[in-house]
Amino acid sequence: MSDAKTMPRGQIGRSLPRVEARAKVTGRAEYIHNLRLPGMLWAKIARSTVPHARIRGIDARDARAMPGVHSVITGEDIRAVIPEPYFGPAFHDQPILALEKVRFAGEPVAVVLAEDPQIAEAAAHEISVDYEELPAVYDEVEAMTSTAYVHDELKPAGMFADLKHLAGRRETNVALDYHLRLGDVEAAFAAADRIFEHIFRTPQQMHTPLEPHVAVGDATATGVTVHSSTQTPSTVRVEIARLLGLPENRVRVRTAFLGGGFGAKVYVKLEALAVALSLIARRPVKVALTMEEQFFTISKHGSTFRIKSAVDKDGRLTARACEVVYNGGAYADIGPRVAQKSGFSAAGPYDIPNVAIDSYETYTNRPTAGALRGFGMPQLVWAYESHTDLIARALGLDPVEFRRRNLLRDGLPQATGTVLRDVAAGTVLDRVVQRLGWGQPFDRGSGTRKRGRGIAIGMKASISPTTSVATIALAADGSATLYSSTVDMGQGSTTALAQIAAEALGIAAEAVRVVAPDTDVTPYDMGTLGSRSTFHMGHAVRRAAEEAKAKLAAMAAEAGVPAGTNLPIAEIFRRKYGMQAGTIVGSGSFVPDYAPPDHATGLTPNATPYWMTGATGAEVEVDTETGQVRVLRLVNVADAGTPINPRIVETQLTGAAVMQLGFTLSEEMVFTDGQLRNPSFADYKIPGIRDMPETMTGESVAARQESGPYGAKGVGETGTFGVSPAIANAIHNAVGVRITELPITAEAVYRAMRAAAGDPLPEE
C-alpha cells in the first residue's frame, strides 16, 4: 500500500495495475454469488416448456409436499405483494413470473423456495403446468407481418418519456420503429452510377458472463435490500421502488465485483423476483442462475439487415438505404433502445449525403434480447462493412482506398446531422492498415490452405440523455475514498476512476479507495453500460474531486493558512481541527449536452457526447477441404481519446475482439420450433484457448476527446466493431466466397465454396 502523501507527477496515462487485482487473485474479492444470509431460502425457477401458450393451471402439490420445500410461488402469488408486477426499462411488459400466458420456452412460470438449492431444484421438476398452446413466431422478418402476436398491446414506459407515442398499439409485433431521412434518397438512387444491395443476418447469441445472474432479496420492516450482480444498481433501485411503491431510500441495491456483464446485467433481471419472493416468504431469498438458465434470461438480438448503396463514378457513396430488423424475443427489455440508438448509426462511418434508415425492434416467441457489448452496432458493422468490401470489389477498388474516399472526418455531419468532433476515424483506419501491412505482399498459403486479409471499421455513438454522480471523501490524513455506482465487472473502471480522482486531487491513484456500488452509499449513476463510465462518470468524479479541493482550500483559509501555501492535506486538517479528525466531502454530477432527434426525420444536431471508432484487420487461413477458418492475426485499433490507463485500454480492445470472435465463428443459439437446442457450453461454443488468433494486438491511436475528462473517452465496445466483417472480408480474400450470415462456421464456408464451384451441397 502506498503513502497517501506521495505527490506524483501525473495519474493520467499511467498503466497502473488494476487496484482490485490482489483481492481477486487471493480469492478475497467479493462476489454476490458467495453471499449467504442467515435464514436465507434458495429459489429455483420452473420454466415454460412451450414457446407460446395460455396457462390453464399449475399443479405444484408434489413439489410442495417434498421435505425441505418451503413453498411454491406463482405469478398470482407475486401479484398479492406487487399488484402490477410488470417491469422493464423501456416497456413495462415483463411479468416477474408468468401471468396468464407464457411467451417463450424457458420463461419463468413458478419458483420453489427451499432450505437448500438441491431440494429446490428437485422440487421444481415436480411442478406441472397445463398449457393451451398458441400460434408462435420466431423469425424477426416474419414477425413484422405475422398475426401471431406476442403481446396484446404495447406498454412503453419507464425511464424515458419519448416512447409514449407507441402506447396502446395493438395487433403488431413491432415494438419500436425508428426512421431517419437525410437528403433525397430516391433521387440519389435514380442518379446513381452503380447500386449495390445485400442482406446480412446474425443469429441470436449469448453474453456468457462467467458469473451467471444472481440476486438475493431481503425484505424487512423498513424496506428492501437486494444484493445483485447488476451493472445498473441505481436504475434497478428506481424500478424496484416503483414496483413496491416505496421511496428510493427504502430500497437498497448492493453489488460487488461482477464476473463479467457485457450488457446481460443491465436493468432489472432477477432483482424484482428476489425481492418479491422475500416479501412473500419474509426471509432472505437467493435466486442464482445456472449457466444454462442464462440462455433463457437475456441474449443478443438476432438481426436481418438489408443495405442498399448508390455509388457515383468516382467511387463516392451518394445514397444508402438501411432496413434493420432486430429480433427482440418475448419481452422488450432495452431492445427498443437498441433499435433506436443503433439505428442512427446504421449507415456507417461514411460521408453519405442521402440516407434512409428504418430500424425495427420486433417481438418474437424467443428468449428476450437486450444489450450486448455494442448495443446493436456489431450487427450493423457486420453488415455495412461486408457491404463496403463487396462494393469495393465490384468497383475494382482497393477496399481501404474506397473507405478513405468516403470516410467521415471531423467537421463533417454524420447521418443525423451531428457534426463530428474529435473523431479519429482516419487515424484509426491508417493505423490498422499499417499494423496489418495492408497492401504489402504476404504468404497467400498453398495447397488446401489459403490465406487472405480483410479490414473493417465501425463507429458508435455514446449514450445520452444520462446522468452520473460521484462523491469523494477526503480523510484527515489525505487519503481519499471514491463513491461511484460504476460497477467493475472486469473492465478496470475502479482503477481508471481512481486515477481520474487522484489526478484532480493531486495525489497518487494508490491513495484513492473506491467503494463498491451500493445505492445506500454510492450516488446515482445510470449504469455501467455503453462504454460510458470513463467519460460520463469520469467527468462526475473529476468534478467531485474539484469540489473537494475547493472545500479543502476554504478549510485552509478558515484555519488561517495563507493563500498559496502548499501544505500537505493532512496538515490542513490538523490546522483546522487540532488533531487527525474530520472528513471533506465533494460531489459532482455530469449530464452531457444532448438534443433529441426530430421525430419525423430522426435528425438532430447533437446525437451523442462523443463517437467511438474501432477498426479491425484480420488475416485468416481457410482449409479448403473442410471450410475451417483459422484466424492468424487480429489487429484491433481504436480511438479511445487519451487513455487514462493504456494497458487496460489495450486489454479491453483485445477482450472485446475475442468476444466478437466467438460471435463471428461459432456462437449461435439454435432453435427448433421455439425450443432452444443448445443451452449449454458443451453445445454452444464460446472461444477457447485454441481458438485464439496466433497473434492479436489491441492499440489506441494518439487522440484526444476535448470534451472528455482529461481527453478520454470510452472503449469497452470498440474492439467488437470490425471483427466479424474483417474476418468475412479476409475469407473472401482467401477463397473468394462471401458469407453473409453469422456464425461463419466451417460448414458455412465449405458450403459456400461448394456452391461457388457450382457443386452445392444439399440443405440439411
Side chain identity at residue 569, one-letter code: I
Looking at the Cβ atoms of 435 and 513, the one nearer to a copy of itself is 513
Cβ distance 204 to 302 under 8 Å?
Answer: yes
Q: How far is the CB of 481 from a copy of itself (least distance, A)?
A: 5
With vertex at residue 500, the alpha carbon angle to CA 494 and CA 505, rounded to the nearest 5 degrees, is: 120
Minimum distance from residue 473 beta carbon to a copy of itself (Å): 6
Taking Cα atoms as reference points, which of 77, 121, 120 lies closest to residue 98? 77
Query: Residue 653 is inside which H or E element, if any?
Result: helix 646-665
Dihedral through CA 87, CA 91, CA 94, CA 99, nearest 10? 100
Greatest CA separation for the chain:
90
Tell whether the torsion through CA atoms of 153, 159, 163 and 167 is positive or negative: positive
Residue 743: partners with Cβ closer than 8 Å, 6 or more residues away:
203, 663, 664, 665, 666, 667, 668
To a copy of itself, the closest distance from the beta carbon of 722 in angstroms equals 33
In the complex, the residues that contact a copy of itself under the rule CB under 8 A are 1, 3-4, 19-20, 22-23, 26, 28, 34, 38, 159-161, 220-223, 234, 238, 241, 246-250, 465-467, 469, 471, 473, 475-481, 511-513, 515, 520-521, 523-524, 526, 576-585, 587, 589, 591
Query: H helices within 16-111, ranges in order?
Result: 21-25, 61-65, 75-81
How many Å apart are CA 651 and CA 643, to the nearest integer?
12
**Number of C-alpha atoms within 13 angstroms, CB side, residue 88?**
24
Query: What 3 state SS string does 728-746 have?
Result: HHHHHHHHCCCCCECCCCH
Shortest Å, Cβ 466 to a copy of itself: 8
Closest separation between CB of residue 556 and a copy of itself, Å?
14
Residue ranges of E strands in 93-220:
94-95, 101-102, 108-114, 128-133, 174-182, 194-202, 214-220
Choice between 19 and 436, CB closer to a copy of itself? 19
CB of 194 to a copy of itself, least distance (A): 44
* Shortest Å distance, C-beta 217 to a copy of itself: 14
Q: How far is the CB of 36 from a copy of itself (least distance, A)?
A: 8
In the complex, what is the shortest distance from the CB of residue 512 to a copy of itself, in angstroms, rounded to a whole number?
8
**Opening angle at CA 126, ends 54 and 56, nearest 5:** 15
Number of neighbours of residue 15 by Cβ within 10 angstroms: 13
Please say which residue, 23 or 557, places its beta carbon nearer to a copy of itself: 23
Of 34 and 626, the one with the shorter C-beta distance to a copy of itself is: 34
Give the 3-state secondary structure of residue 750. Answer: helix
Q: Give me the least distance between CB of 523 and a copy of itself, in Å please.
A: 4
Q: Helix (H, G, I), strand (E, B), or coil: what is residue 361?
A: strand
Instruction: Select 22 or 61, whichever has its Cβ closest to a copy of itself.
Output: 22
Least spacing, CB of residue 216 vs a copy of itself, in Å: 15
**Using an 8 Å Cβ cutoff, are 607 and 461 in contact?**
yes
Whichever of 451 and 576 has its CB closer to a copy of itself, that residue is: 576
Asked if residues 295 and 369 have their Cβ atoms less than 8 Å apart, the reply is: no
Decide whether 138 or 524 has the Cβ nearer to a copy of itself: 524
